[in-house]
Structure 1
Amino acid sequence: MNLPVPVAVGIWVALGLVLLLLVLTGRRRLATRTRRVVPAPPAPPEAEGALGATLLGPVEATYVSSTLSGDWLARVGAHGLGDRSAAEVTVWSGGVVVDRAGGTPLLVPAAALRDVGTAPGMAGKYVGRDGLVVLTWEVPTDGATDAVVLDTGLRTRYRADTPRLLETARSLLTPSAPPHPSTPTTKDTK
């Protein structure tokens, strides 16, 4: 069956528009669904020096996405946290700021940071062999939504920046408190 060129082009354009509509609807549903679970993240302060001294950066990176902690396929669509973008990452003594191109800057306060590690991929982005820097942090409650722990993935543009970012971000982690004296340890239990 040979269709005239204008009809064939019209069919392809209509098919493309339907697919685009499906993608946009899916993104909107993801944002709505995760907005009920994830509070709005804090914004970096406007005042110069409010986050303390600069420890590292800015480092060029790609903001991959944020997912619910422990489930690296559960992308968070609310508050623009699921949108991949170019970014500059700066580590301050008061936290990590991810300045995303085309999006609002993301602040990971030092007190909210739970872990810093690496991963081969997350939420549809696989780079292999511990290529992502993953910040595990707690988004504080905004009054309407309870606090939630997220994993935020960053891919540094230059491989040499990955260990520097890991080491500097890990320096913000507060050491865990020693076990309470009444809590049995493995030596005490026999």
Structure 2
Amino acid sequence: MIHELAQEKAKVTDWPGYIGWAVGIVILIGLVYWLMRQGWNWRRTLQSDLPPLPAAPEDLGPVLRTASGRYHGSTTAGAWLDRIVAHGLGTRSLVELTLTERGLLARRPGDQDLWIPAEALSGARVDSGIAGKVVPAGLLVVTWTHDSKALDSGFRADHPDEHAAWVAAVEELATRTTRTTGKTKKTEEAAS
């Protein structure tokens, strides 16, 4: 009877089978990771026509608002799943946001800072998601233009109740800049 139990125990602990399955699962996970990485690189190659991001000026001008939080990525405006990965725009990170009279600065530790000049800002809104990230309490989505390509960039402040004030401040700056830029263009056209 004891001999039969020992043989039964030997059948249950089939170590070569377990090791084979474990190695197979590790290979499958590695393959999926490699394919995801290839997709990311392919997307970066497709977006290589996007010029480098503008550098932040030395003098940012008077500060209108500041906040800390997370940067969740950028997409083509209106297409919340079309992630932009060129120039580090697809990398999620911590962020320190500063809105000034001259534009929006997103300082991202460990990645390239994002500077959006005031004349490139189109508006802002609170939305539930961007780039495959859905947040029930909402994200601050800033719409801007880079080299005639409209983009949405998503941020989540540490205090989401600040999002409405950010939307108002960005909208007001974009409207004021558009009004000023429009007057300058009309003056230049009249002088020609």
Q: Which category describes the TM-score, using the shorter chain as reference length?
A: 0.7 to 0.9
Task: Give the RMSD, CA atoms, in angstroms.
Answer: 2.1
Deviation at residue 136 of structure 1 after TM alignment? 0.9
Alignment pair present for 1:158 and 2:171: no
Alignment pair present for 1:40 and 2:41: no
Per-residue CA deviation, residues 81-124 of structure 1 (Å, 9 max, x unaligned), is 11111111111110000112321000011011011112111221
Q: Aligned residue for 2:7?
A: none
Per-residue CA deviation, residues 14-59 of structure 1 (Å, 9 max, x unaligned), is 22211111111111011111222x22221212x2xx12011111x1
SS of 1:172's equivalent in the other structure is: helix
Deviation at residue 3 of structure 1 after TM alignment? 5.2
1:4-19 equivalence runs, <5 A: 4=16, 5-19=18-32
SS of 2:160's equivalent in the other structure is: coil
Higher relative contact order (CA 8 A, sep 6+): 1
Q: Which has the higher helix share?
A: 2
Distance 1:166 1:115 in 2: 8
SS of 1:102's equivalent in the other structure is: coil
Q: Aligned residue for 1:69?
A: 77
Q: Letter of the aligned partner of 1:103 in structure 2?
A: D
Q: Aligned residue for 2:87?
A: 79
Distance 1:42 1:51 in 2: 13
SS of 1:101's equivalent in the other structure is: coil
Q: Which runs of 5+ in 2 are unaligned?
A: 1-11, 180-192
Distance 1:73 1:161 in 2: 25
Distance 2:163 2:74 in 1: 18
- Work out whether residues 68 and 97 of structure 2, in 8 Å CA contact, stay in contact via their aligned partners in 1: yes
| TM-score normalised by the chain length of structure 1 | 0.79
Determine what percentage of the aligned residue pairs are the same residue: 32
Distance 2:139 2:169 in 1: 15
1:22-171 equivalence runs, <5 A: 22-36=35-49, 38-45=50-57, 47=58, 50-57=59-66, 59-128=67-136, 131-140=138-147, 147-171=148-172
- Work out whether residues 67 and 75 of structure 1, in 8 Å CA contact, stay in contact via their aligned partners in 2: yes
| TM-score normalised by the chain length of structure 2 | 0.78
- Work out whether residues 111 and 174 of structure 1, in 8 Å CA contact, stay in contact via their aligned partners in 2: no
Q: Aligned residue for 1:173?
A: 174
Q: Which runs of 5+ in 1 are unaligned?
A: 141-146, 178-190
Distance 1:3 1:21 in 2: 28
Distance 1:3 1:13 in 2: 16
